[in-house]
Amino acid sequence: MSQGKSSIRANLADRARGVGSLRDFLELLEEYGQAITWTDRIMPEPDLRNIAVAASRDVNHAPAILFDNIAGYPGKRTVVGVHGSWDNIALLLGQPKGTTIRDMFFDIAGRWGDASAQISRVSEGQAPVHECRHEENINLYDLLPVYRINEFDGGFYLAKASVASRDPLDPENFGKQNVGIYRLQIQGPDRFSLMTIPSHDMGRQILAAEREGLPLKIAVMLGNHPGVALFAATPIGYDESEYAYASAMMGAPIRLTNSGNGIDILADSEIVIEAELQLGERVFEGPFGEFPGSYSGVRRAPVFKVTAVSHRKNPIFENIYIGRGWTEHDTLIGLHTSAPIYAQLRQTFPEVTAVNALYQHGLTAIIAVKNRMAGFAKSVALRALGTPHGLMYLKNLIMVDGDIDPFDLNQVMWALSTRTRAEDIIVLPNMAMVPIDPAAVTPGKGHHLIIDATSYLPPDPVGEAHLVTPPTGQTIDDLGKRIQAMQRGETL
C-alpha cells in the first residue's frame, strides 16, 4: 500500500474514532458523499417509505437521507438509512468505501472481546439529550414524526429504538443492563407495546418482573451513537454490556448519563422516552412488516406507560425501513450477527475460519471450518445451534471447508454442488424457532436444517476424486493487485 493511501486510511480511522453521536456520523457520511438532505416537501406516507425503499436497492452505496420538510410535522426532522449500505458500515469502522464484506467481518472479529472499553459519565445537566424535557401531558403523536413503515402495519412503529433496561433481579449489575433494538408500537399518546420473545434479554426481564411483581423501568433511545445501534442489534451474552462492546469496537469512549428514571443512557442521543412496564397488561400488537419479508400478524404484547420524554434541541427522529430484503435491517445487523457466532464457536472449535450469517438475521448461515476428522463439521454445526442466537434463528446452516470463502456465494455453490451427498443433509424437526419465520406452521416452532458441504475424510469413503489445488499465496495476491492496477491505468 502506498504511503498516500496509508495516510488516507489512518485519517479515516481517526475520524471514525471521533464519532460520538448520530450527528457526528451524519457529518462523516456527508463528507464522503454518503448522506443527503431531502428538502422537497413530502408526505409521511407513502413518501418516507417509498424513498427509503428506493435507496435500499443499492445495498453497497445507499446514503443516509435526512428529511426536514415533512407535511404535518413542521420543524420535525427524520433520518433513514444511517446503516443502510455497506459503504456506510465501512466508514463507521474507519474503512474506505468499497471495503469488502469479508474484510469488514474480519475487522469486526479482530476487535471482538477487546478489553479497552471506555465509559465516560456526563451529568444530566450537561447531557445534550436532556436539553428539553416533558413530564406532563405527554403526546408521542405530537413529539415524534411517526408514520407506518409498511402499508399494512397495524399502527405507528419505532423500529430503530435502542431500549435500555436494568435486570429487575440484579439492577446494579452494569453488564446485565440490556440495550436492545425491539419493535415498539405506539398504542396511545403515552403508551406503547413492545414485542420480544423469551430468549431475548428484554423478554427475560419482563418475565422476571412479572413473576416477582417487580417494577421494570426502561429508557427508549432514538437517534443514537451508530456504534451502539450496531450492538443493540447484536446477540451477545446476557451479562455483557452493549455499551462496553461498542466502545471497544469504536476505540473511543461512550458518553453515558442518567435518565430521569435511573437508567444509563447515551448522553448524546437525540430523544429518550422513559417508561414503565404495566405488570400483567397486554394489548394486541401488529401486524408489522418484518425482516423476513412478511407481516408478522397480530399478537398480545406487554404495555409500557410513558413517564417522561427528553430530547436535544431540534432533535432528529431516526427510523428504519424494514421488510423484504435487502434493507437497512440487513446491513445493520448482518455482520454483527456473524461476528458473535464466530467468536463463540472459536472458543470451542478454533478450526472455524469464518461465519457468514448475513441472511435475514441468520435464518440461513454459512460456516467455514477446517475439517479435523470425519463428521467434524456436523459437530460444529450442532454447537452453532446451541449459541444464544443459533437457538432461535439459525434455521438453515451450510457447512463448508476452510478453503471456501463463505462470503463468496459462487464458492459456496461450488461446494454444495461437488461436496454434498444426500446423507449429508440433517433435519432437526420441532425445534424452537423465532416466531416471525414465515415458513413456520406453528409460530415459535420449526426445523433446523444442516447441510454438510465439506470434503470427506477417513473413515468415510472418499471415492476416486483428487482435488485440484490452484496456486495461492503472496505471488498470486501480488499478481491480482497488478492486474487491477493495470485496469485502472496505473503501474505498480
The question of whether 131 is a catalytic residue gets the answer no
Total domains in the chain come to 1
C-alpha separations of 67 from 96, 131, 145 in Å: 26, 22, 11
344 burial type by CB count under 10 A (0-12 exposed, 13-18 middle, 19+ buried)? buried
Question: Tens of pLDDT along 357-409?
Answer: 999 888 999 999 999 899 999 999 999 999 988 888 999 999 999 999 999 99
462 domain-assigned: no
8 confidence band (pLDDT: 50, 70, 90)? low
pLDDT number for residue 1:
53
Task: Give the pLDDT mean for 58-85.
Answer: 97
pLDDT beyond 70 at 303:
yes
Q: Residue written as cell 404495555? A: 303
Average pLDDT across the chain, whole number: 93
Question: Tens of pLDDT along 419-474?
Answer: 999 999 999 999 989 888 888 878 889 999 999 999 988 888 776 667 788 898 99
Please give the residue that has the higher pLDDT: either 326 or 33. Answer: 33
With left for phi above 0 and alpha for psi between -120 and 50, is residue 283 left, alpha or beta?
Answer: beta
468 domain-assigned: no
Contact (CB, 8 A) for 101 and 407: yes
Q: What is the DSSP string of 305-347?
A: EEEEEEE-SS-EEE----SSSSSHHHHHHSHHHHHHHHHHHHH
Tell me the pairing of strands 64-67 and 178-181.
Answer: unpaired
C-alpha separations of 380 from 246, 340, 347, 366 in Å: 28, 15, 11, 12
pLDDT number for residue 221:
99
pLDDT number for residue 353:
98
pLDDT beyond 80 at 5:
no
User: Is the preceding omega at residue 287 within 30 degrees of 0, hence cis?
Assistant: yes
Task: Give the pLDDT mean for 159-187.
Answer: 95
Question: What angle, rounded to 10 degrees, do the helices at 101-111 and 242-250 form?
Answer: 120
Please give the residue that has the higher pLDDT: either 114 or 287. Answer: 287
- The CA distance from 199 to 183, in Å, is 15
pLDDT beyond 60 at 46:
yes
- CATH number of the domain within which 407 lies: 3.40.1670.10
196 domain-assigned: no
- The CA distance from 343 to 139, in Å, is 43
pLDDT number for residue 292:
87
Question: Tens of pLDDT along 94-153?
Answer: 999 999 999 999 999 999 876 567 899 999 999 999 999 999 999 999 999 999 999 999
Range of the domain at 423: 348-450
pLDDT number for residue 236:
86
The closest of 374, 398, 387, 490 to 453, measured between CA atoms, is 398
**Catalytic-labelled residue, pool 242, 285, 290, 318:** 290
378 domain-assigned: yes
389 domain-assigned: yes
492 burial type by CB count under 10 A (0-12 exposed, 13-18 middle, 19+ buried)? exposed
- The CA distance from 310 to 272, in Å, is 5
193 domain-assigned: no
pLDDT number for residue 287:
96
379 domain-assigned: yes
Please give the residue that has the higher pLDDT: either 204 or 444. Answer: 204
392 domain-assigned: yes
- The CA distance from 367 to 452, in Å, is 10
